[in-house]
Amino acid sequence: MPREKFQTLTEQMFYILLCLRKECCGMDIMEEVGEITGGRVSVGPGTLYNLLEQFVQAGMIRETKVEGRKKSYILTQKGAVALREEFERLRKQAADYVRLVNGED
Amino acid sequence: MSTRYKRELMTYLLFDYEGIEEHLEKMAAKGWFLETPGNTIWKYREGEPAEVKYAVTYVPQASQFDPEPVAEQKTLEEFCGEAGWQKVGDFLQAQIYMNRNVNAVDIETEDAVRLEVIREAMQKSFVPANVVLTLLMVFNLWRGINGFFDDPLSHLSGYGSLLGALFLPIGAVLISANLIAYFVWVKRSAKSVESGGRCVSPRVVRALNKWQLPVILVYFVGMVAGIAGEGNHEAARYMVFYMIGFFGLVALLNATKNFMKKRGASRGKNIAVFVIVDIIGAFAMVAVVMWLTFSGGTSGMEEPDPYAPEVHETFLVKQTSGELEEPNIEYEVNEIKAEELFDWCLEKHLSHNIARGLAMEYEPGVDAGSNLWGADQAYYSDWFGGRWLLTKDNYIVEIWWADELTDAEKKQILPKLGIE
């Protein structure tokens, strides 16, 4: 069955929303995601641009400032809930792994 | 030293970003860098061969009729610029970027998002254009099939006509193949990204599409040569002039669109002018082509012999038509070489004559039986001064202006036409 949009978040979606807990300019997110993950996760400019548009349409982030073509965003309550739910899902996955794999060891 | 440029026909489908990227990177490695991407012809500038990275991304809001990039294109360009990507150009909704750092982060790093944007972009141009083309081809194919079954003898008696009849189904298959390929690619890519994979590569359709235009051109040349070889020079000239006129009209429309863009005209105004020029241009083109085709005339040439027969022949049917001097009748003799086709050709020819709307009705044996002609079967209509359709062995013969013939003359007709 096809997944509902943003029902689960990909890594890139997760880290973009994580960066937007504080007000942030869209273009700065590329660098910040790289810093948070130690270079493990990269968000391309095209993907970032499209995801920001989709998050705004889905009401998960909102624009806070527009300076020329530079826009700043911040997470909304809906976005915070989605981020939290994704974190819980990943935490349960990690816990299942620890319980089953480490338990065998 | 002046910079050299070269032009190339772009054969990649709009959604084939992978093929376009690979091609541009190969060209750059040979020292040719994309300067201007048109809708069909791409212009390259010569430079030092280099290993660079190209990326194709899409902005659904973009239009070829905009006087300048829309806000979405400009914003995307700024995002890409931050990551070291330089915009080379755009065509339709596709945006082309280049990066001299081959290890740079890709513009698109999530294929689920990329696929969604491509689908939205293709709805703006690729899908509607190909749907219209496919419907037009299918409509013409339907008319062509009707025409073929309505008068198979004319189509089967000339290689040019036979090739012409096949051109429509071939064209319909090629045009619809692009549309089908796109929907298959979307379906397969959606399934792949759903499970975390990447969009699939349309390698097969890319290879087929590369050969589409050469195949069509070779077929077209063969068809024109076949028609000219049958002696139908007017039809051959018409087809050549029409093709030249068609490409001329396309060039005019592109020039009009670019002129309006340079003048800063809005998208709506540009489209309106484009449509008006297209309609007027199409009518003017047909008028000019018709005039060029039929204005050749025969001045300075010898008058053709009015009684020399005109012959068209393939391995299926030989058709001989002309006029007899004595008695003065017009005729068409069809020799059906393939026995299996005879009954079908006769049935179609009879219904073809009736369906022409000339209210011709063939009735068997009206004129005191068919023995007067020495034919196997005889059908009659009182149109065109008395019209007869006769069959003898594997021949189907039509004769016009036969009402004044005497019984003795009727007996001589088939032998005079070489049918004993």
* A7 contacts on B by Cβ (under 8 Å): none
B110/A51 touch (CB, cutoff 8 Å), yes or no: yes
Radius of gyration of chain A (CA): 16
* A71 contacts on B by Cβ (under 8 Å): 75
A45/B75 touch (CB, cutoff 8 Å), yes or no: no
Structure letter (DSSP) for residue B105: P
Whole-angstrom distance, CA of residue B37 vs CA of residue B7:
10
Interface contacts (A, B; CB < 8 Å): 63
Strand B395-400, strand B387-392: pairing: antiparallel
The string of pLDDT tens digits covering residues B38-64 is 888 899 999 999 999 999 999 999 999
B80/A2 touch (CB, cutoff 8 Å), yes or no: no
Radius of gyration of chain B (CA): 30
Shortest alpha-carbon distance between residue B109 and chain A (Å):
5
Tell me which residues of chain B have a C-beta less than 8 Å from any C-beta of chain A: 55, 57, 71, 74-76, 78-80, 82-83, 85, 105-110, 112-114, 116-117, 194
Q: Tell the residue number behind the tokens 């293709």, with chain if given.
A: B122
Per-residue confidence (pLDDT) for residue B261, from 0 to 100: 92
Mean pLDDT of B219-231: 82
Cα dihedral B18, B24, B26, B29 in deg (nearest 10): -140
* B79 contacts on A by Cβ (under 8 Å): 26-27, 30, 45-46, 48-49
Nearest residue of B to residue A11 by CA position?
Answer: B110
- Give me the helix-helix angle, B159-194 and B126-150, nearest 10°: 150
Closest CA to B113 of B196, B179, B18, B183: B196
B113/A45 touch (CB, cutoff 8 Å), yes or no: no
Whole-angstrom distance, CA of residue B178 vs CA of residue B106:
27
Q: Answer whether A79 touches B (CB < 8 Å).
A: no
Of the partner residues B76, B82, B108, the one whose CB lies closest to the CB of residue A30 = B82
Closest CA to B414 of B391, B382, B381: B391
The string of pLDDT tens digits covering residues A47-85 is 999 999 999 999 999 999 888 878 999 999 999 999 999
B105/A69 touch (CB, cutoff 8 Å), yes or no: no
Which of A91-105, B235-249, B342-356 shows the lowest per-residue confidence on average (mean pLDDT)? B342-356
The confidence band for B302, taking pLDDT boundaries of 50, 70 and 90, is low
From residue B175, alpha-carbon distances to B10, B13, B126, B143, B168 in Å are: 16, 12, 12, 17, 10
Of the partner residues B71, B76, B112, the one whose CB lies closest to the CB of residue A46 = B76
Mean pLDDT of B265-270: 94
Shortest alpha-carbon distance between residue A59 and chain B (Å):
17
* B108 contacts on A by Cβ (under 8 Å): 44, 46-47
Whole-angstrom distance, CA of residue B377 vs CA of residue B389:
8
Cα atoms in the Cβ-side hemisphere of radius 13 Å centred on A86: 19
Closest CA to B40 of B246, B271, B296, B291: B246
Instruction: Calculate the average pLDDT of chain A.
Output: 91
Which of A6-15, B366-375, B386-395 shows the lowest per-residue confidence on average (mean pLDDT)? B366-375
Closest CA to B42 of B5, B92, B3, B7: B7
* B71 contacts on A by Cβ (under 8 Å): 69
Of the partner residues A44, A49, A51, the one whose CB lies closest to the CB of residue B75 = A49
Per-residue confidence (pLDDT) for residue B349, from 0 to 100: 81
Per-residue confidence (pLDDT) for residue B167, from 0 to 100: 78
Long-range interactions of B85-90: CB distance < 8 A, separation 24+: B85/A45, B85/B55, B88/B33, B88/B34, B88/B35, B88/B37, B88/B54, B89/B34, B89/B35, B89/B36, B89/B37, B90/B37, B90/B59, B90/B62
Q: Tell the residue number behind the tokens 């009707």, with chain if given.
A: B146
Instruction: Write phi, then psi, for A65 (nearest 5 degrees).
Output: -150, 145
Q: Are B258 and B264 in contact (CB under 8 A)?
A: no
Largest Cα span, chain A: 58
Q: H or E stretch including B313?
A: strand B310-313
Assess whether the previous peptide bond of B327 is cis (omega < 30° from 0).
Answer: yes
The model scores a pTM over 0.90: no
Per-residue confidence (pLDDT) for residue B39, from 0 to 100: 81
Per-residue confidence (pLDDT) for residue B146, from 0 to 100: 83
B79/A46 touch (CB, cutoff 8 Å), yes or no: yes
Per-residue confidence (pLDDT) for residue B366, from 0 to 100: 53
Q: Are A51 and B76 in contact (CB under 8 A)?
A: no
A27/B113 touch (CB, cutoff 8 Å), yes or no: no
Of the partner residues B74, B82, B112, the one whose CB lies closest to the CB of residue A45 = B82
Mean pLDDT of B328-337: 92
To 5 degrees, how large is the angle CA B346–CA B351–CA B352?
A: 95
A50/B55 touch (CB, cutoff 8 Å), yes or no: no
Task: Provide the ipTM.
Answer: 0.90
The string of pLDDT tens digits covering residues B180-216 is 999 999 999 999 999 889 999 988 888 888 888 888 8
Is residue B300's pLDDT more than 80?
Answer: no
